[in-house]
Amino acid sequence: MRIVMIVYPPTLREKLPAAIGHDVEIVTLPNEARNTPDFDIEFQPDDVVISMEMDRPGGTMPPVALLQLPGAGTDRVAMETLAPETTVCNVYDHEIPIAEYVLAAMLEWEIGLARMRASFTAQTWPEFSRFRTMHGELYGKTLGVVGFGRIGREAAKRAAAFGMTVLAVARRPDGGPADEVHPSDALAEVLPRCDYVLNTLPLNDVTKGIFDARMLAAMKPTGVIINVGRGETIDEEALFNALSSKSIGGAIIDVWYQYPRSKGDKPAPSRFDFFGLDNVILTPHSSAITDALWSRRAATIAENIRRVEAGEPLLNVVRPGI
């Protein structure tokens, strides 16, 4: 068995050998191997392929034992172009840092530490010492969590610790750390109750554009939407228009609409100038990226590699092979 790496974070490549714990051949193929048959001759049936993307327009990838995604999202894998024998697994371990990001972003929205520090100088101190800067607090506010999986539940636990009320919207309303859990078709009724709306949804045919102009209009005029799911689950133009017109309070955006797909590709993150707005916090899809994340993911991937070798059931199976 070999490990074949295509589209992956360099830090994972560094940590994986130690996580595996024994000698195994690791082969690196160029990014082009994800979407062209030019490198298909390199694949062997017992390979474990690690790649966040895979497609074969008009064709089929040769069978391999496992396509292991180094992340959670499956929207960049064309499942229909994989050989039926190929099992697909993903990996999580990102819910802790993303939940911390969500709380940090909401706290920054309420307290404004960066704004406070920027306006605080030796010259402004006499005035500020008499008229203190007022800011908000999370206590008593309501967080709506749309998509109540790993990320949503971790964020809900932390929000509750800050005295927030948590309303969850879930495909399967089976409880969890929320004050109320509502089915997906109740989204429009839940949104007007929320001071913050956390979107953790994956991208698929059902969720694409689920936050359209109608849903955004259902939010409070002061409501803030937080997107750590996938960019296209929120209609790009509708979001920009809602923010530009101030029909919602603001947005905290970590996931985007356009990404580089090859060397030299330099798209903007959106067709619209979100950078020109004054009611946003924008970050470059980094809410999950911490110094501990890739150690945890390397350990999970190494365990799946061990299970492939041992013929044991795999972790986080997205699509079983036949």
Closest listed residue to residue 109, CA positions, set 283, 271, 241: 283
DSSP H helices, the chain, are: 10-20, 95-111, 113-119, 125-130, 150-161, 187-190, 213-217, 236-244, 293-310
pLDDT tens figures, 219-269: 999 999 999 999 999 999 999 999 999 999 999 999 999 999 877 889 999
Strand ranges of the sheet holding 165-170, from the earlier edge strand across to the other edge: 180-183, 165-170, 142-146, 196-199, 224-227, 250-253, 280-282
Helix (H, G, I), strand (E, B) or coil at 283: coil
CA–CA separation, 132 vs 298, rounded Å? Answer: 48
CATH fold match for the domains 2-93+292-319 and 95-282: yes
CATH 3.40.50.720 fits domain 2-93+292-319:
yes
- Cα–Cα–Cα angle for 290, 264, 204, rounded to 5 degrees: 60
Domain 95-282 class? alpha beta
DSSP, collapsed to helix, strand or coil, labels residue 315 as: coil
- Amino acid at position 81, single letter: T
Longest Cα–Cα distance of the chain, Å, equals 74
Confidence at residue 291, expressed as pLDDT on a 0 to 100 scale: 87
Which pLDDT tens digit goes with each residue over 166-209? Answer: 999 998 877 789 999 999 999 999 999 999 999 999 999 999 99
| Closest by Cα among 155, 239, 149 to 198 | 155
3 phi, psi to nearest 5 deg: -105, 120
Q: What is the pLDDT of residues 36-93, one digit of tens each?
A: 999 999 999 999 999 999 999 989 999 999 999 999 999 999 999 999 999 999 999 9
- What are the structural domain ranges in the chain? 2-93+292-319, 95-282
> Which pLDDT belongs to residue 262?
76
Strands 48-50 and 250-253: unpaired
pTM reported for the whole predicted model: 0.90
**Residue 167, amino acid:** L
- Please give the radius of gyration of the chain, using alpha carbons only, rounded to the nearest integer: 22
